Structure 1
Amino acid sequence: MAIADSVPGVSGGTIAFILGFYDDFVNALHNLTSGKNEGRKSALKFISNIGIGWMIGFIISVLFITSIFEKNIYDISSLFLGFIIASIPLIIKSEINTLGNNKRNIIFLIIGIIIVVTITYMNPITSGGQSFSIKYDKLSFILMIYIFISGMIAISAMVLPGISGSTILLIFGMYVPILNAVKQVLKLNLEYLPAIIIFSSGILIGIIIAIRIVRHLLRKFRSQTIYCIIGLMTGSIYAVIMGPTSLEVYNPPMTITTFNIIFFTIGCILIPALEKLKEVLKNS
């Protein structure tokens, strides 16, 4: 989830949905922020397991993998395409009754596609990853508010399957500054710590708001929400194809010549394999 969240394209929420624990993830976050004591204990255990893996994955991604992505973006994008295309039939299969009995809600699938394609199209791809500093001596009140709102909206996207929070940060022009600030803080350069604290505060508020909305939609309007999620994931195919244009060093969109069939096949194989592993673990 962290690796998906930290690069433009597919979101961590998509990975959670693909691996079949999205509902548990949403419910656990809800119980952690507003549930009763018993619910909070089990939610804390669940979120801790994910959180530890997420933090490790994010640190690895920020320190090492982001440079690998830039050098091998088309290979990784091909892998993500394999993930998405292989997972959509599995999701449809798992929700076949919900979807089949409410076919008129397919309009929400189209809405989901349009949302992701529109957001991706808005990316500042001509900026070539233009950056600015968010060191403490550069922070104005307006910039602090902007960083806070960016965190709120980015984490909302990360929670939802489809578009990644990194893509949202790119639209806000915050992807490179935030990534650089995280790198500097990990290297104990505390000049960037105030900006990270502000951004993290936005993330916390965003999680509380987004989770309540998503949980309510899944409980009250499950068919419409699942159709929309499938639409978001389908639209993220376009986001992944355009992902190379959003890197700090501009790369052209993926084409048939830069598409890597080997990595795509690996992605297509891994998803059913993980699904099978999940069933084995559940029955053991």
Structure 2
Amino acid sequence: MFIINFIRGFFMALADSVPGVSGGTIAFILGFYDDFIGSLNSLISKNSTDDKKRSLIFLIKLGIGWIVGMVLSVLILSSIFDEHIYSISSLFTGFIIVAIPLIMKEEKDSLVGKYKNIIFTIIGALIVVLITYFNPSGSNGGLNLSLGHLNFSIGIFVFVAGMIAISAMVLPGISGSTLLLIFGLYTGIISAIKEVLSLNFSYLPVLIIFGLGVIVGILSTIKIIKFLLNKYRSAMIYLILGLMLGSIYAVFMGPTTLEIPKPAMDLSSFSWIFFIIGGVVIIVLEKSKDFLEKKSK
């Protein structure tokens, strides 16, 4: 059981660490999303001690896998992201495009016959596109997050970004990393984590601020997400699909938010090979769902 949840957490981290699909989407594809959200909600609710203990054990197993996956991703991505941004963005696009029909298949009962909720798909896509287009830092490239460049306004911005990003990471749909890419913080946060892992603690303050934002984001949104998915599941699934569609635009625009901005990805810089690889990875994960579920019983 530990190995299964370790693997689940590991793949959630791989998704959370890259712009594209969120860790929540991976949890959805692998079939344990409701358990994941329920466990988070249990810890901050007035549940019995036994419920809290079971939830904590489940989340610790996921968390260990998540930490290992995140550290490995950071060490790799921080060294190749800028140089290979177009190949990686093509990979992310493959993640998103292939994940959309898989979620539609999984949530067929929530979607079929409830087509009036397509308006939420349009709203979700517009939200991401507008945030991407009017983002506060992308036009100036990424932000330098070292201690020497940290000030009050950047600190507040990083804190709020952490709140928003974690909300996206636990919600199937747009990746929190995609939002960090939109805000021009993705390469900065990834590089900051790598620097701290390399014992350069000048980046630690910004990671603490970001972490506090993440904690506040979880505490303030998890109950809302669980309530909306329980009571308005159809509308939420349509919204999630819209967020994913909109995030394709965000990924294409991602190169413009680098510390040294590059042109937005277009068909000439798009890599079909990496797009196909991204799609295959998502399909393999989806096919492994039944195997993981059987092993976890």
* Shorter-normalised TM range: 0.7 to 0.9
Structure 2 residue aligned with 1:209: 220
Instruction: Name the SS for the 2:44 alignment partner.
Output: helix
Structure 1 residue aligned with 2:93: 81
Structure 2 residue aligned with 1:181: 192
Structure 2 residue aligned with 1:222: 233
Do the aligned partners of 2:182 and 2:254 also contact (CA within 8 Å) in 1?
A: no
- Structure 2 CA distance, aligned partners of 1:33 and 1:227? 27
- How many pairs does the alignment contain? 282
Instruction: Name the SS for the 1:70 alignment partner.
Output: coil
* Counterpart pick for 2:288 among 269, 277, 284: 277
Structure 1 residue aligned with 2:117: 105
1:76–1:16 Cα change, 3 Å = farther
Deviations 1:191-242 (A, max 9, x none): 4434332321221111111211110100011110111111111211212222
Deviations 1:72-99 (A, max 9, x none): 2222222222222222112111211221
Deviations 1:148-168 (A, max 9, x none): 333222222222233333343
- Structure 2 CA distance, aligned partners of 1:269 and 1:132? 35
Structure 1 residue aligned with 2:9: none
Deviations 1:46-70 (A, max 9, x none): 2223212221222223333222222
1:33–1:18 Cα change, 3 Å = same
- Following superposition, the deviation at residue 170 of structure 1 comes to 4.8
Do the aligned partners of 2:78 and 2:187 also contact (CA within 8 Å) in 1?
A: no
- Structure 2 CA distance, aligned partners of 1:262 and 1:164? 22
1:87–1:176 Cα change, 3 Å = closer
- Structure 2 CA distance, aligned partners of 1:119 and 1:141? 22
Structure 2 residue aligned with 1:235: 246
* Counterpart pick for 2:260 among 249, 262, 277: 249
- Structure 2 CA distance, aligned partners of 1:204 and 1:181? 18
Structure 2 residue aligned with 1:114: 126
Structure 1 residue aligned with 2:6: none
- Structure 2 CA distance, aligned partners of 1:212 and 1:41? 19
Deviations 1:215-272 (A, max 9, x none): 0100011110111111111211212222222222322222222222222222223323
Aligned-partner residue type, residue 257 of structure 1: S
Q: Which moved more, 1:114-123 or 1:227-236?
A: 114-123
Gaps of 5+ in 2: 1-11
Aligned-partner residue type, residue 71 of structure 1: E
Structure 2 residue aligned with 1:127: 140
- Structure 2 CA distance, aligned partners of 1:138 and 1:251? 22
Deviations 1:111-150 (A, max 9, x none): 1111111122223333122x34452x77666654444333
Aligned-partner residue type, residue 54 of structure 1: W
Instruction: Name the SS for the 1:71 alignment partner.
Output: coil
1:80–1:149 Cα change, 3 Å = closer
TM-score (norm 1): 0.86
Do the aligned partners of 1:13 and 1:159 also contact (CA within 8 Å) in 2?
A: yes
Do the aligned partners of 1:5 and 1:12 also contact (CA within 8 Å) in 2?
A: yes
1:79–1:182 Cα change, 3 Å = closer
Gaps of 5+ in 1: none
TM-score (norm 2): 0.83
